[in-house]
């Protein structure tokens, strides 16, 4: 019992410290704004991946650049922490609340409280599953279906001149997760027009390097002919590259690789010609978020759904972008 209490105490203290850090940093640059500065409360999912860390950094830097006071809180992947943070934002009467929901459901009560306090809410990166659409003003984030579609479109173009079968193996993300489902369906839609594209094997690699490598090794043995690998994220692609090399084949040449995310390690691999095409899933949505915050505060109407600006990369573009890649 006392152990649990101690743990709760520590967790509580951590949240308090983090919040304090955020507000402290914000007020430091707030001096010249003379009280009319916008105050934004932001609750992040956690720091579970490089992608997320880059996401956090982007939001913090953009806030500073835009002269917005940011109250930042890290939920450490727990919904209760996030709800606590949002309640504290409401008490502090921030101008706008933004957050990346840890999970999809269970937000109605706390969002209702924000609505009653007349504080607009913006969702970033992940959506909530709520019947009452008035609870938030906008959702800013990636379109995973679109990402899958871009990967498929590239493939169609790349193999436009080929008439024979193109055997594709697919490394899926964590089964049931939104990025995995959507990237799969977007890709399938893009290639379904041409029967020469055949997905001969598709398995989950759980978004991890180790699993990506393991599954790819099995594919290499069970499939007599593999032309293309489509990976739902870069980490799995990087694992698969190792498997392909160990099988004595050349990734990028013997087996063409198309992947999603655009992390630094993948760009390095691309500059070596091991990945042929990478669809960006952009964590750097800070600038877009700040723009949106200002519009919301000014009372302008904003779209319900805003997609992050995302590009695609060929090996040449990746090699050029590599030195400035932040994550």
Partner 1 sequence: MSTATATSPVRAVTRSRLFWPAVVLVVLLLANLAFTPDFFALHLRGGHLYGSLIDILHFGAPLILVSLGMTLVIATGGIDLSVGSTVAISGALACLHISESTDPGSLATVLTALGIALGTALVLGAVNGLLVAKAGVQPIIATLILMVAGRGVAQLITDGQIITVTSDPYKMIGGGYWLTMPFAILLSALVVLATVLLTRSTALGLLLESVGGNPVASRLVGIRAMRLVALVYVFSALCAALAGLMVSSNVSAADGNNAGLWIELDAILAVVLGGTSLNGGRFSIGGTVLGALIIQTLSTTVYTIGIPPETTLVFKAFVVIVVCLIQSPVFRAKFAARGARTRRTTRSHTAAPTNREVGA
- To the nearest whole angstrom, how small is the minimum distance from the Cβ of residue 204 to partner 1? 4
Stretch of residues binding partner 1 (CB under 8 A), selected from 131-139, 151-159, 219-227, 305-313: 219-227
222 binds partner 1 (CB under 8 A): yes
Stretch of residues binding partner 1 (CB under 8 A), selected from 126-134, 136-144, 154-162, 209-217: 209-217
- Among 8, 13, 16, 210, the residue binding partner 1 under the rule CB under 8 A is 210
Angle between helices 264-271 and 234-246 (to 10 degrees): 40
Alpha-helical runs (H) found in 122-223: 144-158, 178-191, 209-222
323 binds partner 1 (CB under 8 A): no
321 binds partner 1 (CB under 8 A): no
Q: Which of residues 46-65 bind partner 1 (CB under 8 A)?
A: 46-50, 52-53
Please, which residue, 185 or 202, has the CB nearer to partner 1? 202
Stretch of residues binding partner 1 (CB under 8 A), selected from 98-106, 122-130, 168-176, 284-292: 168-176
Q: Which of residues 242-271 bind partner 1 (CB under 8 A)?
A: 242, 246-248, 265
Query: What residues contact 77, with CB distance under 8 A and at least 6 apart?
Result: 45, 46, 48, 102
The DSSP call for residue 282 is -
Please, which residue, 49 or 314, has the CB nearer to partner 1? 49
| Residue 257, beta-bridge partner list | 229
Handedness of CA 267, 268, 270, 271 (dihedral sign): positive
Contact 122, 98 (CB under 8 A): yes
- To the nearest whole angstrom, how small is the minimum distance from the Cβ of residue 90 to partner 1? 28
HEC profile of 45-68: CCCCCHHHHHHHHHHHHHHHHHCC
- Among 62, 204, 276, 282, the residue binding partner 1 under the rule CB under 8 A is 204
Contact 26, 63 (CB under 8 A): yes
Question: Pick from 107, 261, 258, 231: which is nearest to 171 by CA?
Answer: 231
Please, which residue, 142 or 204, has the CB nearer to partner 1? 204
- Among 209, 232, 256, 274, the residue binding partner 1 under the rule CB under 8 A is 209
Stretch of residues binding partner 1 (CB under 8 A), selected from 25-33, 170-178, 270-278, 298-306: 170-178
Structure tokens at 213: 């490598």
Give the position of tokens 């916008």: 38
- Among 95, 125, 147, 206, the residue binding partner 1 under the rule CB under 8 A is 206
Q: Using CA atoms, how far apart are residues 205 and 232, in angstroms rounded to an integer?
A: 9
Query: What residues contact 176, with CB distance under 8 A and at least 6 apart?
Result: none
178 binds partner 1 (CB under 8 A): no
Residue 84 CA, chain-centre distance (Å), reads 23
227 binds partner 1 (CB under 8 A): no
**# residues near partner 1 by CB under 8 A:** 36
Please, which residue, 55 or 124, has the CB nearer to partner 1? 55
Residue ranges in contact with partner 1 by CB under 8 A: 46-50, 52-53, 172, 175-176, 201-204, 206-211, 213-215, 217-219, 221-222, 235, 238-239, 242, 246-248, 265
């Amino acid at each position: 019992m006392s152990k649990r209490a101690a743990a709760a105490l520590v967790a509580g203290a951590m949240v308090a410290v983090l919040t304090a850090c955020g507000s402290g940093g914000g007020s430091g640059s707030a001096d010249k704004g003379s009280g009319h500065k916008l105050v934004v409360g932001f609750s992040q999912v956690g720091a579970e991946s490089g992608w997320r860390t880059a996401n956090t950094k982007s939001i913090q830097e953009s806030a500073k650049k835009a002269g917005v006071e940011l109250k930042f809180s890290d939920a450490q992947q727990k919904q209760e922490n996030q709800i606590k943070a949002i309640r504290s934002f409401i008490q502090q009467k921030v101008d706008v609340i933004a957050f990346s929901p840890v999970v999809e459901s269970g937000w109605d009560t706390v969002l209702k409280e924000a609505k009653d306090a007349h504080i607009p809410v913006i969702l970033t990166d992940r959506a909530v599953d709520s019947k009452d659409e008035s609870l938030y003003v906008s959702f800013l984030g990636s379109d995973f279906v679109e990402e899958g579609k871009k990967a498929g479109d590239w493939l169609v173009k790349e193999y436009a001149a080929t008439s024979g079968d193109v055997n594709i193996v697919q490394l899926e993300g964590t089964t049931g997760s939104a990025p995995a489902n959507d990237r799969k369906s977007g890709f399938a839609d893009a290639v379904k027009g041409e029967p020469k594209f055949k997905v001969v094997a598709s398995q989950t690699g759980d978004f991890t390097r180790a699993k990506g490598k393991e599954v790819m090794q099995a594919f290499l043995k069970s499939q007599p002919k593999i032309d293309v690998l489509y990976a739902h994220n870069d980490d799995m692609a990087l694992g698969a590259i190792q498997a392909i090399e160990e099988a004595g084949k050349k990734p990028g040449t013997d087996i063409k690789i198309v992947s999603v995310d655009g992390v630094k390690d993948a760009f390095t691999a691309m500059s070596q010609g091991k990945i042929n095409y990478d669809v960006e899933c952009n964590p750097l949505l800070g600038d877009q978020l700040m723009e949106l915050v200002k519009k919301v505060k000014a009372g302008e109407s904003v779209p319900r759904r805003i997609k992050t600006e995302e590009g695609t990369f060929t090996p040449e573009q990746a090699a050029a972008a590599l030195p400035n890649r932040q994550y």
